[in-house]
Amino acid sequence: MPLKFNIPFLLVFVFFTCSCRQEVKKAEKKTQDVPVLTSIEAKRFNLLLSDLEDLKADGCLKNATLGYYIIDITRESKKTIIAEYDQTKPMMPASTLKLFVTAPALEIFGPPIIPEVTVTNQHSINWRASKLLRRIGGKIYNHTTKDAGVQAILEFWKAKGLDTRGMYFDDGNGLSRNNAISPKQLVDALFIMTNSKYFLPFYESLPIAGLTGTLHKALRGTAAEGRVRAKTGTIAGVKSFAGYVKSVSGRELVFSIIVNDYSCRTKLIKKKLEAILLRMAEV
């Protein structure tokens, strides 16, 4: 009798134990998918990490909100977190928001839309981005409206595995101060696009430091020239960058950095953030 009574209990216990072990393994695997730097690896990025710490303490950002997220994707099978700070906090992105519109446009409309996406990203043309948003809404929901476009791009990114919690689109160009995107969501979207069949035209649509588009004057004559491709973002009190870096040592980085409500001149905060881009190019 005692043995028969204990058998169901033992079965439940074994099942529960195995389930717990499986969940632990899943959690460990999820953590390992994006590991942080080891102490040895961190030495390569010492100057970059030091500059980021200095930026956090900068007087221009005394009452500001700063967020950044930088990952290394040099090895295709592995991505590593280089630096993160308030990376999941929704912030006003300014024109880096356009990345969330132009990327879906490429996959939804295909090659014919490449010139439009290129012009939009290179020169950050607001009315073109808004038009793309409405076109996406028309294609997916048969309604060429902002709301239909927003719903379509949110569904697009969710289907790609992006965590869209906290994201809010009040327009398709980044001018509204009601828009909200986190630095991590920007980087995750950029990383997702590296596996898209339209990655090359997407990548080539981004301004090149020192050479093209909204970055044509930035970091000219430095190690970052030709090595940084990024979307810029600027509205009153907001400055942002998001894109890709191929460093002098061959590292491939994906990054985003956003500042809201800084107290100094835009020209000065732009210079400070560009210094971070340069450090990434120098690693």
pLDDT tens-digit series, residues 213-235:
999 999 999 999 999 999 999 99
The tens digit of pLDDT for each residue in 73-92 reads: 998 767 899 999 999 999 99
Average pLDDT for the chain = 89
**41-50, 60-69, 102-111: segment of lowest average pLDDT:** 41-50
Q: What is the DSSP string of the chain?
A: -HHHHHHHHHHHHHHHHHHHHHHHHHHHHHHHHSPBPPHHHHGGGHHHHHHHHHHHT-GGGTT-EEEEEEEE-SSTT--EEEEEESTTS-B--GGGGGHHHHHHHHHHH-GGGHHHHHHHHHHT-HHHHHHHHHHHHHHHHS--SHHHHHHHHHHHHHHTT---TT-B-SSSSS--TT-BB-HHHHHHHHHHHTTSTTHHHHHHTS-BTTTSGGGTTTTTTSTTTTTEEEEEEEETTEEEEEEEEE-TTS-EEEEEEEEES-SS-HHHHHHHHHHHHHHHHH-
pLDDT of the residue at 21 = 44
**The listed CATH number (3.40.710.10, 3.30.70.3270, 3.30.70.270, 3.40.50.460) that belongs to domain 34-282:** 3.40.710.10
Predicted confidence (pLDDT) at residue 5 exceeds the cutoff of 60: no
What pTM value is reported for the model?
0.86
